[in-house]
Structure 1
């Protein structure tokens, strides 16, 4: 239980980095950030695949197709939505929408497990932690919404577009961890590290095709944009490979390890660590101290996770 939680915490701290990438490169299109990140992820996975070649050889054609589906929806499409949302609405709004993931994943997992007749965490065990997490998210969201309303030059049309895009990212990342956990729990003998590497390898050709396709489109539609690496190539490359290594590969590895050790409904709640990390990084980047309500919200989020970890042992392993 605690080893699995530690892995989920590490994944959340690294995944929080993806929320500040678009803020550090505001002049780069979201599509380029998404394709660039996953080209970097795939290139990082290539040498790692040699170390895991024996374990990767055990994967069937169906496993590789599943890795490709996870890579397309949970990686490329998700980050395309998220980066677009952050560029349209800034960091706080997408962060607070994505912050509903723990509740949404827990509920979706519970409904799926109940429909299959599997043993699962009961509603009475889920409810207290879900309520605490929901209250925490509400506190943090209220602070950010007040800040948006107070902005004199706020463009609510852009905010609305950003919110819609963030909902798209939310749906992608509700599907991804449930589907990924299903595969891992169905293959307890497989290496989480090799599965993370397999997703990187499966994502690489799709990301590379997208990158080349975007450059072809941009050469006609945006001739002023410096191709192939944009106006700040050193920062772009450094950020893409940093996010590709820490958020995409190492973060996925840690999440896979957590998913093998914890029930899906519980591990879904632990995505709260990503929300906390993203808020902390965004506030640090802005140079703002957290408001009292933000601190209360963070405390409630943590309390919800701690409550979830106090679930009776028989239900923990459902």
Structure 2
């Protein structure tokens, strides 16, 4: 099991740099950030761009992987995103993972002045977005005319450092998204079942993730892919037990053990932020980072 962290882009770089350097010093496999223009309770506070933040982080870290959890089509276009990702992959020396999802109906969905897309349109756009982005990151020149996105001789030379392209971690729970994860993903991302967040139990959450993995397995089988070769990432903090896994090393090991037994291969915990949904004791957090993986075996 790999343990990673997600660092929200809320700090001016003079402070943010120390956080990203600290994540590498603690031995996290990867450090991710959210790719939003603002987010929920942080909307009226500082919030910086994901790609510039990851670029700065790439310059002050050496081995830790970096990425987004997650990027969505809400305010991105595949052509411009591909250029930024190729640049970031080069600057980082091939350490980038793109977490990507369909997006939701929050602030990002309307900030450019458009109406929020329906769930069906989000799914349509996501499928086209991922398909085109895959081509843009693997081919030198791409022309494409789709229903939602187009490219006219889009050039991406020399391409990614990682071959054939940087890995995709596809966030999905519905049938169409799971098929995209099976076809294009090097990993799959879940936060659990959002319907259980307020009123569910930890036991129900485990069963829900088990069912998600079962559907992912079926999606892989349909195209002849072995699901064991697909990484399974769980972004924590959105299950009914929420912050309790960060109360102690033992609490985290108990929580993590239940999900790794299902086949989760990477758990992602939020870097503590005081007076927020992600508040946690920093000393306990650091102890989890340095001791939990060894206890999990």
Bigger helix share: 1
Instruction: State the TM-score, normalizing by the size of structure 2.
Output: 0.27
TM-score of the superposed pair, with normalisation by structure 1: 0.25
Largest Rg, 1 or 2 = 1
Higher strand share: 2
